[in-house]
Amino acid sequence: MKDICAFFYHAKIQSLEIMNKLEIKQIDTKSLGAQFLLLVTTFFWGITFAIVKEAVEQVGVFLFLSQRFILAFAILLAICLLSRRKFKPAALKHGIILGSLLFGGYAFQTLALVYTTASNTAFLTGLNVVFVPLIGGLMFGHLITMHMKWGVLVAAVGMFFLCTAQGLKLNVGDFLGGICAVCVAFHIIYTGRYARHNDIYWLTAIQIGTVALLSVIIALLQGDRIVVWHPEILWPLIICVFFATIFAFLVQTSMQRFTSPTHTALIFCMEPVFAALFAYVTIDERLGLKGLAGAILIFGGMLLSQVSMPDKLYQKQTGEEQFL
C-alpha cells in the first residue's frame, strides 16, 4: 500500500513539473510574439524619419504633430465607442500620464534639433535603452541581470557609432536630448505597468488625445492655423496616422504586457537601424563602416539581452503574471 501511495505521489509531482514546463513554454511563446510585433512597430517608426522630415519642411513641426495626433485620436475614439469597450476611470489618469510623457519625448527632441545636430539628438534619444533598466532598478526594484547590463552597454555603443561621426560636444541641445531620452524611458516603463490594468484601446486613445491637445496648444502659441488643409502632407499624414501612430501605439501598449521594459527598450534600439536602411534604399544615403558597425552592435545587444532574465521571472518579481 505504501509503495502504491509513493508511486502516485511521485507521478503527481512529475505531472506538475511537466505542466509547469508547458506553462513556461507558452509564456515564452507569447513573449517572443510580443517582441516580434514590437520590432514591426520599430520598423514603422524607423522608416517614417525620412517621411516626417519632408513633411515638416512644408509645415511647422507642431502643426504636423497636431494634425497627425488629432486624426489618430478621432479614429481610436470611434473604435472605442463603436465597439462599446468598457471604460474605467483609471484609464483617464494613466492615459494622461503616458500622453504627457510621450509629448515630452516629441517636444524635447524637436527643441534639441534647434541647438544641436541630428546625429547627437538621435544618439541621446536612444539613450533611453540605458535609462530604462536604471530607472526600473532604482525606482521600481526591477531585477537587472548581468546579460542585460552587457546588452544595454553594447546597444548604447552601437547607437553611438551609428548616429555620431565626430563624437559628442555637449550644449543646450544635448541637454534637451537627454531629457527626451528620460521621457521616452519613463513612457516605456509606465506603459508596461499601466497596460496590465486597463483596456488597451481606451488607454492608447487617451494618451494619443493628450499628445494632440498639447501639440495644438503649442502650435496655436506659435501662430499656426490647425484647421488649414495642406495637401502636400497628405501621404505623410496617412502613413504616420495609421502605421506609426494607431498601429504602433496599440501594439506597444498591448505587447508590453508580455515582455520586460528593458527588452522593449533594446528592441526600440533598432529604430535608427531601420531609418538608416530606409534612407539607403530610398535616397542612397550610405551607412559607411562606422554606421554598419553600430547597426551590428545594436542587433548584438538585442540578442545578448535575450539570454538573460526570462520574461516570466520579470512578471514574478513585479507580481504581475496574473494577466496571462
pLDDT in tens, 84-95: 888 888 899 999
The alpha carbon of 139 is separated from its chain's Cα centroid by a whole number of angstroms, namely 19
Question: Could you write out the DSSP letters of every residue in 168-196?
Answer: ----HHHHHHHHHHHHHHHHHHHHHHHTT
Are 207 and 102 contacting, i.e. CB atoms less than 8 angstroms apart?
A: yes
Alpha helices in the chain (DSSP H): 2-56, 61-82, 89-115, 118-126, 128-140, 146-163, 172-194, 200-221, 234-239, 248-255, 261-268, 271-283, 288-305, 311-317
The radius of gyration of the chain from alpha carbons, rounded to an integer in Å, stands at: 22
- What does the pLDDT average to over 227-232? 83
Most confidently predicted of 151-165, 213-227, 269-283: 213-227
Q: What pLDDT is stored for residue 102 in this prediction?
A: 94
The predicted model gives 79-104 an average pLDDT of 92
- pLDDT bin (cut points 50, 70, 90) of residue 220 is very high
The listed range with the strongest mean pLDDT (112-126, 147-161, 283-297) is 147-161
Query: What mean pLDDT, rounded, does the chain reach?
Result: 76
What whole-number percentage of the chain has pLDDT above 70? 75
Average pLDDT over residues 196-208: 91
Residue 41 CA, distance from chain mean position: 8
Q: Say what the pLDDT of residue 20 is.
A: 45
Alpha-carbon distances of 209 from 83, 224, 246, rounded to whole Å: 18, 19, 11
Which band of pLDDT confidence, cut at 50, 70 and 90, is reported for residue 133? confident
Task: State pLDDT tens for residues 155-186.
Answer: 788 777 776 655 556 677 778 888 988 998 89
Residue type, 6: A
Task: Specify the pLDDT at position 208.
Answer: 95
Provide the grid cell at 182: 528620460
Q: pLDDT class for 197, splitting at 50, 70, 90?
A: confident
pLDDT at 3 > cutoff 50: no
Q: What is the pLDDT of residue 124?
A: 75
pLDDT of amino acid 13: 41
pLDDT band at 320; cut points 50, 70, 90: very low
pLDDT above 50: residue 65? yes
Residues 42 and 243 sit within 8 Å (Cβ to Cβ):
no
* pLDDT classification of 319: cutoffs 50, 70, 90: very low
User: Which of 16-25, 186-195, 313-322 is the most confident on average?
Assistant: 186-195
Higher-pLDDT residue of 200 and 12 is 200
Over residues 20-25, the mean pLDDT reads 41
C-alpha cell at 46: 524607423
Give the mean model confidence (pLDDT) for residues 25-37: 66
